[in-house]
């Protein structure tokens, strides 16, 4: 596509835009177990109006747009109240969970460098921590030390303790973590953090606007928020279970002594003195306005209703999955995230994923253990029955026709999860991304698993294998198939 010479009229453009959306995931119909959180059409309409009202404003300069600063401050205070933060707590609205986590790590590092002159900083987090923490470590020159999980997928606090040394600048854990939906032992970690004088960040990006309402509905939960001594910061995403427009999360600190290490100030730039509270320069005001309106439009009562419905959907799906022979639900997560897998070797979970995807369901694929992830919301009450019957049909189909597992994307996912040479997987994914973002963008759905795998096997084992005719055999072994 060339740069347009002539203007195009609005109706034509909007019609083209709608046509482009034809193949998008159908979240309105409740077939998306990830990516989109909606509290219904009426609520979304309000979010759109509030977003629109501040469509042009820029949160970068709080002096020019005092309204944005006001709304941001309200959002921080409302979230602090919900999460039982002390009166001294302070924070910022960010563009999402990833930015909140990047800033949490950056601030832990900056504080330790300022207070203790730590040279080669390290942070400690469970292997299940959101990958944005790995991204933060990568970006900010911090070493990420991963602590293993216990059988229930929560982190082992003793393993965390053993990883602490004088270079440690902070601990992180999740409430709940994304892949399996369980809450890490925050109270035990808080004691460890306090004993070593370290900050503890709780990633409640997904739980921040979920767990408080589950607790209020009378379900017992382990403590995880600012009531736990030793918790110094929490991230909570408005654009997840806060049901607001995308581009809004809150990062809260126990007090401003922590928050000040998050800020960036430059005094020498020819363009003037520059101060920025978070990662971006220009900050869209729309998501802040939508969140400000959205949280108040629902209020505690609205969130409780939504959570009651989401829990009902979760129970129906979880119990229904447990009733399907060949399916196993992982553990018993306290929130509305679920992960399930197959309980028989011959049933490939990724092949089941392909069958479900072909019927329009959208969800994530976990690789450890191999399972499918569902983020359950109120909307899924409507579609729980249909989903369960599609899972049951899928299992039947896999039993009848085992060849399904060698078609579609299942072999590729299976191999990616199993391949010990992670460097190769990384290279292959990078290649795929370059294909998608390069000058002649490839459709993201265009994958040739078989060719991809054969190239992987050749690259990895070529020199050792010698003969090209063994490639297929090795590929089958890696896939767990008997040649
Ligand atoms: C626990 C947790 N933390 C952080 C994130 C990152 O959030 P975002 O995608 O808004 O950057 C997610 C996203 O799913 C999450 O589940």
Cα 450 from Cα 430, distance rounded (Å): 18
What's the CA dihedral at 95, 97, 102, 106 to 10 degrees?
Answer: 90
- 317 near 30, Cβ under 8 Å? no
Phi, psi (deg, nearest 5) at residue 374:
-120, 125
- 127 near 148, Cβ under 8 Å? yes
Same structural domain, 269 and 415: no
What's the CA dihedral at 162, 166, 169, 172 to 10 degrees?
Answer: 0
- 181 near 333, Cβ under 8 Å? yes
Q: Considering only 33-37, 165-169, 223-227, 239-243, which range has the smallest mean pLDDT?
A: 33-37
Say how many C-beta atoms besides its own lie within 10 A of residue 448's C-beta. Answer: 10
pLDDT of residue 216: 98
pLDDT of residue 483: 41
376 lies in some domain? no
Q: Tell me: the pLDDT tens digits for 180-230?
A: 999 999 999 999 999 999 999 999 999 999 999 999 999 999 999 999 999
29 lies in some domain? no
336 lies in some domain? no
Confidence tier at 31 by pLDDT (50, 70, 90)? very high
Whole-number average pLDDT of the chain: 91
Same structural domain, 235 and 97: yes
Cα 235 from Cα 228, distance rounded (Å): 15
Question: Which residue, 208, 216, 151, is CA-closest to 174?
Answer: 208
Cα 335 from Cα 282, distance rounded (Å): 35
461: domain range?
Answer: 410-478
Same structural domain, 223 and 75: yes
Q: Considering only 9-23, 102-116, 128-142, 406-420, which range has the smallest mean pLDDT?
A: 406-420
State in Å: Cα 52 to ligand 1 middle.
25
Residue 178 CB–ligand 1 contact under 6 Å: yes
Q: Which has more pLDDT, 105 or 417?
A: 105
State in Å: Cα 402 to ligand 1 middle.
35
**Substitution site in 128, 132, 373 for ligand 1 pocket (most atoms within 8 Å of beta carbon):** 132
Q: Tell me: the pLDDT tens digits for 311-329?
A: 999 999 999 999 999 999 9
Query: Residue 88: pLDDT above 60?
Result: yes
Same structural domain, 420 and 284: no
**Average confidence (pLDDT) over 442-459:** 60
Residue 132 CB–ligand 1 contact under 6 Å: yes
Query: Residue 482: pLDDT above 60?
Result: no
State in Å: Cα 100 to ligand 1 middle.
9
Q: Which has more pLDDT, 273 or 483?
A: 273
State in Å: Cα 219 to ligand 1 middle.
24
Residue 411 CB–ligand 1 contact under 6 Å: no
Q: Considering only 207-221, 248-262, 446-460, which range has the smallest mean pLDDT?
A: 446-460
342 CB contacts (<8 Å, ≥6 apart)? Answer: 326, 327, 328, 348, 349, 352, 395
92 lies in some domain? yes
What share of the chain in percent tops pLDDT 90?
A: 79
Q: Considering only 106-120, 129-143, 250-264, 431-445, which range has the smallest mean pLDDT?
A: 431-445
Same structural domain, 281 and 423: no
Q: Which is the closest atom of ligand 1 to the Cα of 34?
A: 14
How many separate domains does the chain show? 2
Residue 310 CB–ligand 1 contact under 6 Å: no
What share of the chain in percent tops pLDDT 70?
A: 91
- 253 near 106, Cβ under 8 Å? no
Give the residue whose CA is nearest to atom 8 of ligand 1. Answer: 97
Residue 123, SS3 per DSSP:
strand
**Average confidence (pLDDT) over 334-338:** 97
252 lies in some domain? yes
Q: Which is the closest atom of ligand 1 to the Cα of 240?
A: 10
Query: Residue 448: pLDDT above 80?
Result: no
Same structural domain, 90 and 214: yes
317 lies in some domain? no
Residue 413 CB–ligand 1 contact under 6 Å: no
**Average confidence (pLDDT) over 86-104:** 98
Same structural domain, 270 and 415: no
Question: Which residue, 64, 110, 69, 111, is CA-closest to 92?
Answer: 69
Same structural domain, 420 and 283: no
Query: Residue 467: pLDDT above 70?
Result: no
pLDDT of residue 339: 97
State in Å: Cα 209 to ligand 1 middle.
13
Q: Which is the closest atom of ligand 1 to the Cα of 174?
A: 1
Q: Tell me: the pLDDT tens digits for 388-446?
A: 999 999 999 999 998 887 777 777 777 777 777 788 778 878 887 887 888 877 666 55
> Where are the strands (E) in 300-360, listed by range?
327-329, 337-342
123 CB contacts (<8 Å, ≥6 apart)? Answer: 105, 108, 109, 133, 137, 142, 143, 144, 145, 168, 169, 170, 171, 172
State in Å: Cα 242 to ligand 1 middle.
13
pLDDT of residue 470: 60
Residue 337, SS3 per DSSP:
strand
Residue 337: strand pairing partners = 375
State in Å: Cα 258 to ligand 1 middle.
22
39 lies in some domain? no
107 lies in some domain? yes
Q: Which of 294, 322, 351 is the last residue of a domain?
A: 294
210: tokens are: 């979920």
DSSP state of 348: -
What CATH number is associated with residue 219?
Answer: 3.40.640.10
Q: Which of 294, 324, 342 is the last residue of a domain?
A: 294
> Where are the strands (E) in 67-137, listed by range?
90-94, 122-126
64, with CB counted inside 10 A (0-12, 13-18, 19+), is exposed
Confidence tier at 456 by pLDDT (50, 70, 90)? low
Q: Which of 277, 294, 311 is the last residue of a domain?
A: 294
């Amino acid at each position: 596509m060339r740069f347009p010479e002539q203007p195009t009229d609005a109706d034509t453009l909007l019609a083209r835009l709608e046509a482009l959306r034809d193949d998008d995931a159908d979240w309105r119909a409740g077939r998306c177990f990830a990516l989109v959180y909606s509290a219904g059409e009426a609520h979304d309409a309000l979010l759109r109006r509030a977003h629109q009202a501040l469509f042009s404003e820029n949160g970068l300069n709080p002096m020019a747009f005092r309204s944005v600063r006001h709304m941001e401050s309200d959002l921080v205070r409302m979230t602090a109240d919900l999460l039982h933060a002390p009166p001294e707590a302070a924070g910022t609205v960010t563009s999402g969970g990833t930015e909140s986590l990047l800033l949490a790590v950056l601030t832990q590092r900056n504080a330790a460098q300022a207070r203790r002159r730590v040279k080669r900083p390290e942070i400690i987090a469970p292997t299940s921590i959101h990958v944005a923490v790995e991204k933060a470590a990568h970006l900010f020159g911090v070493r990420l030390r991963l602590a293993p999980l216990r059988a229930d997928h929560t982190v082992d606090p003793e393993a965390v303790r053993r990883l602490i040394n004088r270079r440690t600048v902070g601990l992180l854990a999740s409430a709940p973590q994304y892949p399996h939906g369980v809450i890490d032992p925050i109270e035990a970690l808080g004691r460890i953090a306090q004993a070593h004088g370290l900050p503890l960040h709780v990633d409640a990006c997904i739980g921040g606007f979920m767990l408080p309402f589950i607790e209020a509905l009378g379900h017992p939960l382990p403590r995880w928020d600012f009531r736990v001594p030793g918790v110094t910061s929490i991230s909570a995403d408005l654009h997840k279970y806060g049901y607001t427009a995308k581009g809004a999360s809150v990062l809260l600190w126990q007090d401003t002594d922590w928050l000040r290490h998050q800020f960036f100030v430059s005094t020498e730039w020819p363009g003037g003195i520059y101060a920025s509270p978070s990662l971006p320069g220009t900050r869209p005001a729309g998501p802040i306005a939508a969140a400000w309106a959205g949280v108040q439009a629902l209020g505690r009562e609205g969130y409780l209703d939504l959570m009651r419905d989401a829990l009902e959907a979760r129970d129906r799906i979880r119990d229904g999955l447990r009733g399907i022979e060949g399916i196993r639900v992982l553990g018993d997560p306290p929130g509305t995230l679920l992960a399930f897998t197959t309980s028989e070797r011959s049933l490939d979970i990724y092949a089941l994923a392909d069958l479900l995807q072909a019927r329009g369901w959208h969800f994530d694929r976990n690789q450890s253990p191999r399972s499918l992830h569902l983020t359950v919301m109120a909307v899924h009450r409507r579609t729980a029955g249909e989903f369960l019957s599609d899972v049951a049909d899928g299992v039947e189909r896999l039993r009848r026709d085992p060849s399904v597992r060698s078609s579609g994307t299942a072999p590729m996912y299976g191999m990616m999860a199993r391949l010990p040479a992670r460097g190769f997987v990384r290279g292959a994914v990078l290649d795929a991304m370059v294909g998608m973002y390069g000058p002649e963008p490839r459709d993201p759905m265009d994958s040739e698993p078989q060719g991809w795998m054969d190239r992987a096997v050749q690259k990895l084992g070529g020199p050792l294998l010698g003969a090209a005719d063994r490639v297929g055999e090795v590929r089958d072994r890696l896939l767990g198939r008997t040649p």
